[in-house]
Every structure is written in C-alpha cells, then in structure tokens.
Amino acid sequence: MTLETPLDPLDMPPAPPPVPVPELTIENEEEGYARLVAEPLDPGYGTTLGNSLRRILLSSLEGAAITSVRIDQVQHEFSTIEGMQEDCTEFLLNVKEIRLKAVSNRPGTLTLDAEGPGEITAGDLQVPADFEVVNPSLHLATLDGPETRINAEFHAQLKRGYTPATEVEGMPIGVIPVDAVFSPVRKVNFHVEKVRVGQATDFDRMVLEVWTDGTVAPVEAVGQAAAILIDQFALFSTAGGVGAPPVAPPA
C-alpha cells in the first residue's frame, strides 16, 4: 500500500482573487444636481452602463408641462393684451418656463385671474391638487394699470419628451398650443476612468452627473431610468431557457 505524500502548502496554487463587488456612491447631491460614482465595474461596462442610463434619462422619464393656454379676449399668439407690458408671444414664452410637479397621472387645468397694477408670477396661478408649481417666483407678466385684468386657463399633461406647438392640431379657436418640455432631466454627463483592483488595473470607474429642473431629484431620476432599463432587458432574460418565446421554424 502506497501512502500519498501530502502537498506542501507552499506548493499549492494561490487562491483566485475575490470577485470585486461594484458599489454606487453619491459624491455630491444638491437641488437639481447630483454626481454618482459606480465602481469597480468590469472592463467596458462603464461606457455600456453610462450610455444606456444617459439615453433613458434624457428621453424616457415622464414629466408634466403646460400644453395649451386660453386667454380671455385673445384669439392667437400674435395678439396684444391692453395694459400688459408683454405681448402675447412673450407671455407664452414665460409660461413655457413654468415647472410642474405631477402628483398623479391625470391631466389638469391651472387658472389665472389677476388685476393690475403689478407683477404676475407663477405663484399667482390657481393649481389643482394634481400638480405643484416648483418655481413660483417665475415672472410671467406685468400689468400697468388698475383697470388691467387677465383671465387665463392653462392645460397641463403628463408625458415624455418634447412636443412642439407646431405639431399640435385641432385646437378650438382661442386655445393656443405651447411648446411642451415634459422631460424633468435637463442635462446628463458621464465619463469613465480606470481603477485598480488587486493586481488588475483595467476595471472601470463610471462617474455620472445629472441635472434636473427641480420637479424630480436627480438621484430619483437615475433610479427611474434604471428601472426602465431593467423592464426592457427582462424581455431577453428568458432567452434560451424556461419560458423563452417560441422560435419560428425556418421557411
């Protein structure tokens, strides 16, 4: 009977290095801005994840915006309102800058009934419970005299992306469409750096910067974008396994 010689511990192969676990860190967060860092990521995944998140953040998040306006005694956007310093076009450009936070999925109507003299701001709007104006100090117009009055209605909707006024058709006479910017995300940047993990120097460190209009926190926006990506990738997660969609036979 031959006894096996035990292996010398010095002759044993080294244990494989532990698999690094990526972590997400919020380096900076303030109103309307956040800087997030994900590391260490497998080589190449910094660009893959950064590109995907950037596209979704800029195109696919829902937001609320005013889509049309009706002003008493005004038939079109080139009209003037007696006693108001701004013409109708300037007024509508200011209205387009109103930032709305939706608390439900329902459309709604905001109203304005103001008398001069004085400044009108977004905070003077009567807002339904479905919405909140996040920039109430926004200047809308200036009324010159005590006899000047403006009465208007603003229709708001919840959608994605951007709808120019020129694409809106079928409006009743006196209802003026407005360029509607629904996306709450204003800007997204990302860049990828190399980071060292053990002896490996080719892991990725992805830095993501997000700016929003104040209706949604930037970190929350990133979470929404990630959830959208997860939902879309779920379509492919069963490919080749149980529950995979049937493959059409060759013709």
Residue 135 near residue 214, CB atoms below 8 Å: yes
As a whole number of Å, the end-to-end CA separation of the chain is 66
Helix (H, G, I), strand (E, B) or coil at 224: helix
Q: Which of 232, 215, 247, 235 is nearest to 98 (CA)?
A: 215
List Cα–Cα distances, 101 to 24, 114, 132, 213, 215, in angstroms. Answer: 27, 23, 5, 10, 5
Q: How far apart are CA 139 and CA 121, in angstroms?
A: 5
Q: What's the token pair of residue 248? A: 């059409």
What domains are defined for the chain? 20-61+185-233 (3.30.1360.10), 63-181 (2.170.120.12)
Residue 63 near residue 223, CB atoms below 8 Å: no
Per-residue pLDDT of the chain (251 residues; tens, 9 = 90+): 555 666 566 666 665 666 678 999 999 999 999 999 999 999 999 999 999 999 999 999 999 999 999 999 888 888 888 889 999 999 999 999 999 999 999 999 999 999 889 999 999 999 999 999 999 999 999 998 888 889 999 999 999 999 998 888 888 888 999 999 999 999 999 999 999 887 778 899 999 999 999 999 999 999 999 999 999 988 888 777 655 555 555 55
pLDDT tens-digit profile of 202-234?
899 999 999 999 999 999 999 999 999 999 988
pTM for the structure as a whole: 0.81
* Amino acid (1-letter code) at residue 203: F
